[in-house]
A and B are shown apart, each in its own frame.
Chain A
């Protein structure tokens, strides 16, 4: 299993679906571990009732059906399926609406979904998902990207309230890829995935949604910066190490070599 994760860390992020498929067929007994630990790009279904799309993940799945956060129904229809309690569902509905606006403000497009369910410790778990296609044929506003995808998965475990304080544990995974392509500079493609965790104890005065939202916003900002500066920055550093820019090279070619 460790070896399998080692492989996943090295294989190109764009090929992670093929790699996971391959590993699942080689290690069928580890399938549940693999599926829960390996990040995969998000899939989407259309909720025919509301006409809106929703994101698929383990947290809204029951058997082979997926529950829509808009209509609260499973597609394909499923009997005796799992649903959040009516109270949690209210919070879920509000979360979807608010998160949708958040998504629009930062992503200028894309699809978002929020799923909640009770857990065994009298708290609950919420999963916030965003999928954005930033390519110029998708929703890339400025048309820079020939191909661009951002998938974000935020899972927050909320502990039971104690003296108006609740414990929040956020695990965030971002998978992204972007490709630019033009005559003069060829194809330039960056892709990657990172996962981080954040734990906070917050007063519930402003409500769970507010607390969770702020954590997610902070985390996304940090991850975006980290990807841009640290991760992509390191690849740039590597390129400049392989072949330093001409300003760095002080020696000029001379004809009189020994």
Chain B
């Protein structure tokens, strides 16, 4: 950064503001926004930055917003985005209008036919959606999921490939306990008619932030692949749900294993709990120091 005392221009300030917003931990963008406005002290620049940053943040964090009339939740993702503020919920066939900066759903309307998938595709999508609802209800205390068609939504019948995506988003915000976390799963399923196979690719992302008198963050990511045969919609749905269930459970186990390796294995590469001698360092024994120094010099350890 330049050393001069000159004021930053508006564009620079806006970029900085955007950076802070985009890099907010899950569930904390509103807090960051508040502090940022205070530091920035320039509403115009803040509003410009917010209008650019919030949509990106919301889609990448797979946030979910309550639909009015308690019809459920709508996910905000790049997969179901119709216009910049309009997001489709295929389960209810509703389109929600969203205020990105306030992170609320401001309006809702029924989806037009051309916005929904064809009946053929809808059979697959709906069956999978039903299975995913079951899975998410059993695996996640509070998880939201949806299934979208991202390719081939107008396919009328057998003979073409198409692609569905399953999105699972779970978040827990406990600011009173200084702890927030999020789990995001995105599963792309390519229905390959030509080879009668389904190719499944999963991307899992988990984050947690604990900040009581400190600041510690977890970021974990994983990608996996699987495949199964092309069957009738209900059978496909069950196979896919089983694949997802299996991989996600396995991933959770490996996360737990990573954590249990910490104290004695991984952390040791940073700092041991105790020296090899298994005793604390003998600060008072200077003779030992000279001896140790000589030994170290002899062994060429001292660098």
Contact = CB atoms under 8 A, between A and B. Distances in A.
Contacts of A257: 134
A197 to B, nearest CB: 11
A149 to B, nearest CB: 8
13 contacts: A7-B39, A104-B301, A107-B272, A142-B265, A186-B221, A186-B223, A188-B220, A190-B217, A193-B216, A217-B281, A235-B210, A238-B179, A239-B181
A249 B134 CA distance: 13
Given A189-B220, A209-B283, A220-B271, A9 B206 contact: no
Contacts, number: 262
B283 A210 contact: yes
A232 B219 contact: no
Main secondary structure of the interface of A (DSSP, over half): helix
A26 B39 contact: yes
Place the interface of chain A in its size category.
35 or more
Nearest to A182: B254
B181 to A, nearest CB: 4
A15 B20 CA distance: 10
Contacts of A207: 284
Interface string B29-52: 001101110111000000000000
Contact of B32 (A7, A100, A141): A7
Contact of A214 (B31, B248, B283): B283
Contacts of A135: 269
Nearest to B174: A238
A105 B277 contact: yes
Contacts of B183: 239, 242-243
Contacts of B172: 238, 241-242
Contacts of B222: 185-187
Nearest to B214: A194
A12 interface: yes
Contact of A227 (B179, B180, B216): B216
B265 A245 contact: no
Given A22-B20, A238-B179, A101 B296 contact: yes
A178 interface: yes
A18 B19 contact: yes
B262 interface: yes
Residue of B138, B245, B269 with most partner-chain A CB within 10 A: B269
A232 B270 contact: no
Interface of A: 2-4, 6-13, 15, 18-19, 21-28, 52, 97-98, 100-102, 104-108, 132, 134-135, 140-145, 148-150, 176, 178, 180, 184-195, 206-207, 209-210, 213-214, 217, 220-221, 224, 227-229, 231-232, 234-236, 238-246, 249, 251, 253, 257
A18 B171 CA distance: 27
Interface of B: 1-2, 5, 8, 12-13, 16, 19-20, 23-25, 28, 31-32, 34-36, 38-40, 134-135, 138-141, 143, 170-172, 179-183, 204, 206, 208-211, 213-223, 245, 248-249, 251-259, 261-263, 265-277, 280-281, 283-284, 286, 289, 292-293, 296, 301-303
A235 B302 CA distance: 38
B257 A185 contact: yes
B208 to A, nearest CB: 4
B23 A245 contact: no
B281 A4 contact: no
A228 B214 CA distance: 13
A209 to B, nearest CB: 7
Contacts of B209: 10, 235
Nearest to B5: A28
Contact of B269 (A6, A7, A52, A144): A144
Contacts of A244: 139, 141
B259 A236 contact: yes
B210 to A, nearest CB: 4
A48 to B, nearest CB: 15
A198 to B, nearest CB: 14
